[in-house]
Every structure is written in C-alpha cells, then in structure tokens.
Amino acid sequence: MRIGIDCRTILNPGYGENAGVGHYTYYLVSNLLRMDKKNQYILFFDNLLSENAALKIVGSAKNAEIKFFPFHRYKHYLPLIFSHVLVAAALDNSKLDVFHSPAYTLPLAYRGKSVVTVHDLAIYKNPEWFPREGLMGQRFSTKTLVPKSLGKAEKIIAVSEHTKKDIVEIFKIKPEKIEVIYEGVEFRNLPSKKEAVCGLEAKICFEDIKAKYGLKDGYVLFLGTIEPRKNIINLVRAFRTVALENKKFGEKYQLVLAGAKGWKHEKIYKEIESSNKKLGSKGIIKYIGYVPSKEKFFLMKYASCFVFPSLYEGFGLPVLEAMSLGVPTITSEISSLPEITGDAALLVDPHKEEEIALVLEKVLTDKNLQKNLSAKGVVQANKFSWEKCAKETFEVYKNAAK
C-alpha cells in the first residue's frame, strides 16, 4: 500500500511534541516506520518545517518519502477553497491507496480513500471555552469542513470511547465506522532527585530545577494550558481551603501551576493573587509559566501529587504521563478521564471545589494511599503504548483501502 499521512502538525521532530495533534502524529509515524518495512509511506509537510527536520522523523526508513506542499507560503493570498483544491491535487498526484489526516479534516476536493482522527469535540460541546477571534474561519471549520470530512472518510479514529460517543451524537455517524484507538505514553527512566543527567541541551538535575522555580520539597502540580476549560480556579480555591484549615499543610506544600497562557487566563491569575493574599504568602500558589520538555517530566516525577480537574478531555495525556511516572493522581470523573485512569487515580466532581479539597488532603496525608496510587498508576499506564496505537492504526488503513 501507498499510505499518505498529513504531518503538518509536527513542528519539533527529534524532541517530539509536548502535546496535541503534533505529539500524536509524531509518535504514530515514528512507530509505523519502526514496525512496518513493507508498505510505502508518503509524509506530507509544509514549509513551517525544514527538510532536515523532516528527515529526522524518517531516520533510516527506506520505505518513507517526504513531500512538501509547495504553495503553503502563499496560502494567505489564496482563497480557502482554492488551497483545498491544491492540496487535493498534490495528494491525487501521489497515487495513494489511503490518506490519513490526524487532525479532524480532509481537503474538500479530495476523493481518495481516507482516514480521519478525532481527538476531542470540546468546541461543539462548550463553544464558550474558545475565543471568538477568527470566528469566520472557526465557523467554516466546525460547520462545514469537519462534518464533510467525517462524512466522506472511509474510517474515523477516535482516541477514546467518550470521543466516539460524542462523534455519534453530534454528527449522527454510524458507530461501526468509528474505531477507538488510544494514544500511547513514552515511559521515562528518570534518575533520583540528586543525580545530574544529560538533558537535550545541557546537564540538568532536579535540585537545579527546584531552585530555578523556587519550589519546596513538597508540591502539588498542575500542568496544562492556563484556560477556563482546565478548571484551575476551582483547584486554586480547593488548595487554599486546605492550607487555611491546616497551617502545617500550607507550610509544607505549594500548589505549582505550569503551562502556557491560554484564552481568558486573566481571571485565573487574579484568583492566584487573591488566594496568596489570604494565605499570607506569594509563594504558596505559584504559576511558573510554560515548562520546556526536558524539565516537565522531572517536575511531574517528583510532585507529591498531580491534579488535573479538567472539565473536558478527549483523551487526557497529562494524566497518563503522571501515572506512568508513578505520581499519585487526582482528576475529574467526567469525559474520557475515568476511561483512561481506571481505578488508578482518585476521581472528583470538578465542579465541587470542596470535594477537590477533601481528596487532595486525603492523598497528601495518607502515605499508604500514595504508594497504592503510585503502583496502580504505572500498571494502568502500561496498557497504553504507541506501538499498539500504530499497529491498530495500520489495521484501519488496510480496512479503509479495501
């Protein structure tokens, strides 16, 4: 088979992507090329990535071909429909048996056999979580492009049963057209806190990271985009409640919030400031900004607890990453998150800050519970691998090509 894959979401090959569709595409393609030496893979990029960077993904694979959409640099000058026609023409010229779009949509003019991956449908369920800037383009995508793409694809991949359920409900697509294939997690053997290790760019050790961000020995970690959907305000209030009621707790632990600024982040910062004033210290609840990949997993690994009270997730990769590192984890009892965690994390109603507070205090004061969650988390995370994801996706390609 000649299998085409849209790789335009991959922006940082060699290091992988921190999250999102680019992360999924990078690990899927890497594992497909590792396991399958027989079929031909045509990987499509645009000029946001250099040819040398694209070659890092291919590595020594002899059955992979890199193609660049040559007109990408002019796309701002082209009518939207025309750019879809040009992409479709480039795909047709490649004589593919099947084309995979890992990012929801297909070129409108493409008529070949195709597979589309859907990661989450939060914008359909809660449009108020998303900015209104660029509304026309967003409306075209949600009202026209995504529905048409899902309608004409031979197969749809959903990254969770919950996402599959949303696809069926929103687009009225037959369940048998949709295959659930879970994402994977990369296991990391991180050294002890005091060991220095070679990072991607320089030698790093956890004590240096701790000093850089001004962290206590004990801290509760949230890692994700700073936006309303992640429900950070309720987490801040829950932590503040526990720290006010238990002075020793406030002296021992910090709440550390890491991640890039998202839409409507201002209210979250105001809540952090207000809570720190009530606690009498600026450093108890700390926002440390976007954390580079080489530091992210150290911060996760040595957290006393990882808390992710999101209001909606199509999959929930940060939760899986925390569990893979043996970190006691608290997350929401809604959307796909219970499906991913099984009984290996404590689940809370994310709308009830008092429930988050109670469970948080319980985890941080019960050593046996911490050990139990840590062990269960690693076992549960082992069920999710990129190799398995690639094998199951290849089977979908075969069925779609038929």
Q: What is the predicted pLDDT for the residue at 201? A: 47
Q: Which residue has the higher pLDDT, 72 or 35?
A: 35
202: pLDDT strictly greater than 60? no
Q: What is the mean pLDDT of residues 240-268?
A: 92
Q: What is the predicted pLDDT for the residue at 133? A: 61
pTM: 0.92
384: pLDDT strictly greater than 70? yes
Rg (CA), the chain: 22
- For the chain, give the mean pLDDT: 90
Per-residue b/e over 102-134, b at no fewer than 16 CB within 10 Å?
bbbbbbbebebbbbbbbbbbbeeeeeebbeeee
Q: What is the predicted pLDDT for the residue at 59? A: 87
How do residues 145-166 score in pLDDT, each as one tens digit? 999 999 999 999 999 999 999 9
- DSSP states along 90-143: HHHHTT-SEEEESSS---TT--S-EEEEE---HHHH-GGGS--TTHHHHHHIII
User: Strands 203-204 and 218-223: what pairing?
Assistant: unpaired
Q: What is the predicted pLDDT for the residue at 150? A: 97
198: pLDDT strictly greater than 80? no
Cβ(358)–Cβ(317) below 8 Å: no
For 277-280, the CB contacts below 8 A with 24+ separation are 278/240, 278/244, 279/240, 279/243, 279/244, 279/250
17: pLDDT strictly greater than 80? no
Q: What is the predicted pLDDT for the residue at 274? A: 95
Q: What is the predicted pLDDT for the residue at 85? A: 82
Dihedral sign of CA atoms 250, 251, 253, 256 in order: positive
- Catalogue all structural domains in the chain, each as residue range(s) with its CATH number: 2-184+385-401 (3.40.50.2000), 197-381 (3.40.50.2000)
200: pLDDT strictly greater than 50? no
Q: What is the mean pLDDT of residues 317-340?
A: 97
Q: What is the predicted pLDDT for the residue at 49? A: 79
Strand partners, 66: 43
How do residues 39-87 score in pLDDT, each as one tens digit? 999 999 987 777 888 888 898 899 999 999 866 555 555 556 657 888 8
Rounded CA separation 259/399 (Å): 39
282: pLDDT strictly greater than 70? yes
Strand partners, 5: 43, 100
Residue 193's pLDDT band, with cuts at 50, 70 and 90, is low
In 3D space, the residue among 345, 310, 336, 332 whose CA is nearest the CA of residue 161 turns out to be 336
Q: What is the mean pLDDT of residues 194-204?
A: 56
Q: What is the mean pLDDT of residues 87-111?
A: 94
Q: What is the predicted pLDDT for the residue at 317? A: 95
* Token digits of residue 174: 């037959």
| 16-30, 127-141, 182-196: range with lowest mean pLDDT | 127-141
Q: Which residue has the higher pLDDT, 194 or 1?
A: 1
* Token digits of residue 110: 């493409």
